[in-house]
A = this chain, B = another copy of it.
């Protein structure tokens, strides 16, 4: 078997750390990169390394160029009435894509998970509660994914908030374009529970 140079092994090993990239894919990528110019390799290397300088919005925890993200810095958004609580940045972006929510967000950074040692302190739930009270937010939309941990997180959030704050959770049911015949029983149950007068 041929002995490959250390730089190739190192690059393959580095790429396999990316999600969805196995050793074969990483190797194919590196073989392609061996044909690149030095400047291209340098720019890709530094673009990835510079992710460590990524800032987070001081208000909501979203990625930001500055102290505030583009949503929190946007004065046309409603900053006080409704707050949408999400697990992570990807969930936030999915909601933004729908274009229907005009308020601001709060990124939890995860859900309560005692087995992984994630408690209310890790998610800074007290900071969130204080922010909600201080900003006199009237409505909380919990856009947390449906799972045992997500449900527990929602219950805990409701329990620590004053009763004057209206807490809501996003609706669960049949996704648009979905087909009843292929959906799981839990979703069907939720869809039946969440039926609306037509």
Contact = CB atoms under 8 A, between A and B. Distances in A.
Interface of A: 1-8, 10-11, 13-15, 17-21, 25, 28-34, 36, 38, 40-55, 62-65, 69-71, 89-90, 92-93, 96-97, 99
Interface of A, helix, strand, loop or mixed by DSSP: helix
B14 A18 contact: no
Given A5-B63, A17-B40, 14 more contacts: A1-B97, A2-B69, A3-B70, A7-B54, A8-B54, A13-B47, A14-B47, A17-B44, A18-B29, A18-B33, A20-B29, A30-B51, A34-B51, A45-B45
Contacts of A31: 89-90
A11 B48 contact: yes
Nearest to A73: B3
Given A2-B96, A63-B4, A71-B2, A33 B20 contact: no
Nearest to A8: B63
Contact of A52 (B8, B20, B42): B42
Nearest to A21: B29
A173 B196 CA distance: 64
A24 to B, nearest CB: 11
Contacts of A6: 65
